[in-house]
Amino acid sequence: MSEREQPETTRPAVTPPRSVPDTPASAPGASPPAGLRRELPAEVPPAAPRTASGRTGASEAPRKPHPPQVSQKPQASETPAADGPAEPGLTGRRRLVNGLWPPRVTRAQLIVALLLFGLGFGLAVQVASTSDTDSALRGARQEDLVRILDELDDRTERLEDEKQGLEKQREELENSSDQAEEARRQTIEKERQLGVLAGTVAAQGPGIEMTIEDTKGTVESDMLLDAIQELRAAGAEAIQVNGVRVVAGTYLSDADGGVSVDGNKIKSPYRFKVIGKPQDLEPALNIPGGVVQTLEKEQATVTVERTDKIVVDALRAPKRPDYARSSSR
C-alpha cells in the first residue's frame, strides 16, 4: 500500500454536515439540522400533522406555521367585551332573574291585573259582610235565636195566608153566577184596603204602642226610619207617629230639637201607633242588634206594649196624580 493511499484509508467515516438554509428562529415548525443535538425549549409546540403525501406541514411552502395553542379558559383578570353577547358563565337562576327584573309590563297584563284586583276586592267585601252576619248570630243567645226563627215562621205564614186569599178571590170570580156583582164587591173591599195603606181612611185593630224617650237628644231621623222599615217588614198595616200618618211616600229629616216627618216637626217622646199582629211586631223590634238595642246604645228609653185595639185616626189628603191614569176600561 502506497503512502498516498494511506490517508484515504485512515479517514474517519463521518460525513460533513450539509448546509442548512437559514430559517427564522421563531418558526415553531422548523426542524433542527440533522446530526446536531439541540436542547428543546420549555414549551414545545405540537408537531405538524402529516399530509397524504407524507410531508409535514412545516415543509409546505404556502402554509404558515401554527402559533402555539393557548388555553381558551378566560382568566379572572380578563373582562368581556362591552359589545359582546351575554356572559357564557351565567347560571339558570341568574338568567331567570334577568328575565324577570326589570319587569316589562304590557297592556294586556295591566288589564288582567286590574280585573283580578276588582275580583279580589269584591270577594273580600262579600266575605267580610257574611262574617259579620255570622258573628252576630253566633253571639246571640238561645232565646234570641228562637225568637228569630219564630219571626221567620210568622212571615212565611203571613205570605201563605195572602196567597190563599188571592186564590180564593180568583175562585169566587170564576165560579160566581153574577161575576159583575162579585167583581164590584171585591173592588170596594180593595179600595178600603188601599185607603188604609194610603192613609186616606182611619183604621183600628190589634197592634202595639212604642214610646221612645230621648232625654239626651241623640235620636236622629235615620233611627226612626229604621224602626218604621222594621215594622213594615214585620207586617204593619197602619203606622202613626205623633199625630202624623206614615205612608209609602213618607220622608224623615233632622230638625232643631227633634225630627221632621213629611215637613211636620215632632219632638221627644216619639209615640208610635202600629196596627198589625202583635206577635210579629214586638219580636221584630227586640231582635239582637235591632231597633231597641240600637236606641238603647244612644241612651234612649224604649217601651213596647201590646194591645188589642189601636186607633190610627191621622189622615192624609188624597192626591190626584198629575200624569198617571188608570189603564182599565
pLDDT in tens, 278-328: 988 998 898 888 899 999 998 999 999 999 999 999 988 887 778 887 765
* Residue 68 pLDDT: 53
Identify the bridge partners of residue 255 per DSSP, sorted by sequence position: 258
* 219, pLDDT greater than 60: yes
Identify the bridge partners of residue 302 per DSSP, sorted by sequence position: 212
Mean pLDDT, range 225-239, rounded to an integer: 91
**Where does the chain show beta strands of DSSP type E?**
203-213, 238-241, 244-246, 252-255, 258-261, 264-266, 270-275, 301-312
Q: Are 255 and 217 in contact (CB under 8 A)?
A: no
Dist CA 200 CA 315 (whole Å): 5
Identify the bridge partners of residue 301 per DSSP, sorted by sequence position: 213
pTM for the whole thing? 0.48
Amino acid at the residue 145: L
Identify the bridge partners of residue 246 per DSSP, sorted by sequence position: 239
pLDDT 10s digits, 101-130? 776 778 888 888 889 989 888 888 887 776
* Residue 221 pLDDT: 92
Dist CA 110 CA 19 (whole Å): 85
pLDDT 10s digits, 6-51? 444 445 555 555 544 444 444 445 555 544 455 555 555 555 555 5
Coil vs helix vs strand at 102: coil
Q: Give whole-number Cα distances, 38 to 33, 35, 260, in Å.
A: 9, 10, 125
Residues sharing a CB contact under 8 Å with residue 253, sequence separation 6 or more, in sequence order: 221, 259, 260
Coil vs helix vs strand at 2: coil
Dist CA 20 CA 245 (whole Å): 137
* Residue 270 pLDDT: 95
**Taking all residues of the chain, what is their mean pLDDT, rounded to a whole number?**
75
Confidence tier at 142 by pLDDT (50, 70, 90): confident
Count of alpha carbons within 13 Å of 70, Cβ hemisphere only? 4
* 82, pLDDT greater than 50: no
Dist CA 27 CA 17 (whole Å): 22
* Residue 77 pLDDT: 44
Dist CA 192 CA 203 (whole Å): 10
* Residue 192 pLDDT: 83
Beta 203-213 vs 238-241: how paired, if at all? unpaired
* Residue 173 pLDDT: 72
Amino acid at the residue 210: M
Terminal CA-CA length for the chain: 172
Mean pLDDT, range 65-94, rounded to an integer: 54
Burial class (CB within 10 angstroms; exposed 0-12, middle 13-18, buried 19+) of 270: buried
| Max CA distance (Å), the chain | 182
